């Protein structure tokens, strides 16, 4: 960029000056998470754009008078727009062109099978670069540390490179880490162990099943979805974010996105070949903005906390998705468990990042890892609120994305009270799922057709343990995808709480 006179301390001002130089091509030059509307006062034209993977939320609406509206929450549009929808990731809206165009078109997007060889050092260095980018901050920050592979890698890399960052000059060389869970949950134990190993200042937050249940209505209002797994995982994150913000922390690093890139969900064990494996990772990434990106952003933003996800760095995603998917395939006979290539990349004998048993810990979904009784408690509570007759008539009450379980029905009731518009319910995708799969992947195992549950433990014969609460409820529910990046935090208008109407 040319030299410019800056009038604020906001990262967002960079976008305006770059737009002055190159116009609408500005969106292709941004590296980070963003949703923004930029108005050119010279000719009254405007553009709106969303980052490549939809890490930050953005909605697009249309008024009866022909006006076009944009907002970071659909609650800002629901009363003023005739219809509205989720603004597609990797797209830009131009008033001059009168519509949307895709600006993010990586090679993996057409689902062609890549063939680049796997180099563990290249992958490691790319991820380290991504984490280091996100240490650029002038506010108190920390890391969400569940003790699973993804959050542990983020924390380990951040702690290792913090001392050399500008952030350390303001906030010190000790990284602060945070974990949430029910008393005695797997995540609390693992998170504590990782924190001790890498040397973070660690804080645990405990919640009870009842506290989680009491928060469900608020969670659905803020998250703006009725997807089962998103709500299950959002609730502990929502409760934790409130406590983190109360400590004065304003930004956290988080580990979303890895499972989609590397096929980390347990059902990937059943992928029949590398072609199907890769196509499923592509499907998951393309829908990520409707699930885990939505969860990670809105659970934290509800309390004014920013979440950045290094795994969803544009360059890192493009690199990881260019690797021959045969390298990502799970093969227990060869010792290759899920996400083997990222585990191997950080398996450094001389200067280890993590303890071996953490580095090779089996995948836990966040909603499982915070405590297995959390899911059982949700199901029991939903069963007390939704009768058999109500569920039997669900297709008449909710013909679109008809809930197949009492838990799904319960969430849908709350959602419809908050967002009764047809456009609102259409922003939530549906379809059958097992262990977070897309509908297409259910065909990988015939046994899954009768065991459709979103928990990772529904991948029969894959997970090492089972629910303490007994049998997994058989149901057809929405699938959940499973971040945040932020090199420049490029968000003009940041979290726009008011809709911007453009006539």
pLDDT in tens, 164-198: 787 877 788 899 999 999 998 888 999 999 999 99
Is the pLDDT confidence value at 42 over 80?
Answer: yes
450/286: higher pLDDT: 286
Is the pLDDT confidence value at 491 over 60?
Answer: no
- Average pLDDT of the chain to the nearest whole number: 88
| Three-class SS of 380-445 | HHHHHHCCHHHHHCHHHHCCCCCCCCHHHHHHHHHHHHHCCCHHHHHCCCCCCCCCCCCHHHHHHC
Give CA–CA dist 477/291, Å, rounded: 14
**Residue 470's pLDDT is what?**
39
**Residue 171's pLDDT is what?**
80
- pLDDT single digits (tens) 18-31: 999 999 999 999 99
Contact, 280 vs 335, CB < 8 A?
Answer: no
**Residue 149's pLDDT is what?**
95
Residue 432 to residues 316, 378, 380, 436, Cα–Cα distance (Å): 30, 20, 22, 9
- Predicted confidence band of residue 488 (pLDDT cuts 50, 70, 90): very low
Is the pLDDT confidence value at 12 over 90?
Answer: no
Is the pLDDT confidence value at 494 over 90?
Answer: no
Closest of 411, 500, 419 to residue 75, by C-alpha: 419
> Residue 125 contacts by C-beta under 8 Å, 6 or more apart in sequence?
none
Contact, 230 vs 480, CB < 8 A?
Answer: yes
**Residue 431's pLDDT is what?**
84
- pLDDT single digits (tens) 113-128: 999 999 999 999 999 9
480/6: higher pLDDT: 6
Give CA–CA dist 391/446, Å, rounded: 26
Tokens 């009784």 sit at which residue? 373
- pLDDT single digits (tens) 445-487: 988 877 666 655 555 556 555 434 433 333 333 333 333 333 2
Is the pLDDT confidence value at 40 over 80?
Answer: yes
Is the pLDDT confidence value at 309 over 90?
Answer: yes
Average pLDDT over residues 81-93: 98
**Residue 157's pLDDT is what?**
98
- Predicted confidence band of residue 501 (pLDDT cuts 50, 70, 90): very low
Is the pLDDT confidence value at 131 over 90?
Answer: yes
Give CA–CA dist 214/352, Å, rounded: 42
User: Which domains does the chain possess?
Assistant: 13-105+488-502 (3.60.20.10), 114-380 (3.40.50.620)
Give CA–CA dist 54/69, Å, rounded: 18
| Three-class SS of 190-234 | HHHHHHHHHCCEEEEEECCHHHHHHHHHHHHHHHCCCCHHHHHHH
The region of weakest confidence among 78-87, 131-140, 308-317, 470-479 is 470-479
Is the pLDDT confidence value at 72 over 90?
Answer: yes
483/371: higher pLDDT: 371
- Predicted confidence band of residue 368 (pLDDT cuts 50, 70, 90): low
**Residue 9's pLDDT is what?**
77
Is the pLDDT confidence value at 1 over 80?
Answer: no
Closest of 155, 157, 138, 217 to residue 191, by C-alpha: 155
Is the pLDDT confidence value at 262 over 60?
Answer: yes
**Residue 463's pLDDT is what?**
56
Tokens 């699930």 sit at which residue? 291
């Amino acid at each position: 960029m040319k030299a410019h006179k800056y009038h604020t301390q906001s990262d967002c001002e960079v976008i305006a000056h770059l737009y002055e130089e190159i116009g609408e091509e500005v969106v292709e030059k941004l590296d980070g998470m963003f949703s923004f509307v930029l108005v050119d006062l010279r000719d009254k034209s405007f553009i709106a754009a969303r980052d490549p993977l939809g890490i930050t939320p953005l909605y697009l609406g249309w008024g009866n008078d022909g006006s076009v509206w944009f907002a970071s929450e659909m609650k800002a549009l629901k009363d003023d727009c005739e219809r509205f929808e989720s603004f597609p990731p990797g797209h830009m809206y131009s008033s001059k062109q009168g519509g949307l165009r895709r600006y993010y078109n990586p090679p993996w997007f057409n689902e062609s099978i890549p063939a680049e060889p796997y180099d563990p050092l290249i992958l490691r260095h790319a991820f380290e670069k991504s984490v280091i980018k996100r240490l650029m901050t002038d506010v108190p920050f920390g890391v969400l540390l569940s003790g699973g592979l993804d959050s542990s890698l983020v924390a380990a890399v951040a702690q290792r490179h913090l001392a050399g960052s500008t952030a350390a000059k303001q906030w010190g060389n000790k990284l602060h880490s945070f974990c949430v869970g029910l008393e005695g949950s797997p995540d609390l134990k693992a998170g504590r162990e990782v924190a001790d190993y890498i040397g973070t200042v660690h804080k645990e937050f405990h919640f009870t099943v009842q506290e989680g249940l009491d928060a469900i209505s608020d969670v659905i209002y803020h998250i703006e979805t009725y997807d089962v797994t998103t709500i299950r995982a959002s609730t502990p994150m929502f409760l934790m974010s409130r406590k983190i913000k109360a400590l004065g922390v304003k930004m956290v690093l988080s580990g979303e996105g890895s499972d989609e890139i590397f096929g980390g969900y347990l059902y990937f064990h059943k992928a029949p070949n590398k072609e199907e494996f890769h196509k499923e990772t592509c499907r998951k990434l393309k829908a990520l903005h409707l699930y885990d990106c939505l969860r990670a952003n809105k659970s934290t933003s509800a309390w004014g906390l920013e979440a950045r996800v290094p795994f969803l760095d544009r360059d890192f995603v493009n690199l990881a998705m260019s690797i021959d998917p045969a390298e990502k395939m799970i093969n227990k006979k060869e010792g290759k468990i899920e996400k083997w290539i990222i585990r191997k990349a950080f398996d450094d004998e001389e200067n280890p990042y993590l303890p071996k048993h953490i580095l090779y810990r089996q995948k836990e979904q966040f909603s499982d890892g915070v405590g297995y009784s959390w899911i059982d408690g949700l199901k029991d509570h939903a069963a007390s609120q939704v009768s058999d007759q109500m569920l039997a008539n669900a297709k008449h009450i909710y013909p679109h994305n008809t809930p197949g379980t009492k838990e799904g029905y319960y969430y849908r009731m709350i959602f419809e009270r908050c967002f009764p518009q047809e456009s609102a319910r259409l922003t939530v995708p549906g379809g059958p799922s097992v262990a977070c799969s897309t509908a297409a992947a259910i065909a990988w195992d015939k046994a899954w057709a009768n065991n459709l549950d979103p928990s990772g433990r529904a991948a029969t014969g894959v997970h090492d343990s089972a629910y303490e609460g007994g049998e997994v409820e058989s149901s057809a529910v929405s699938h959940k995808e499973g971040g945040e990046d932020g090199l420049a935090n490029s968000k003009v208008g940041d979290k726009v709480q008011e809709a911007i109407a453009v006539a």
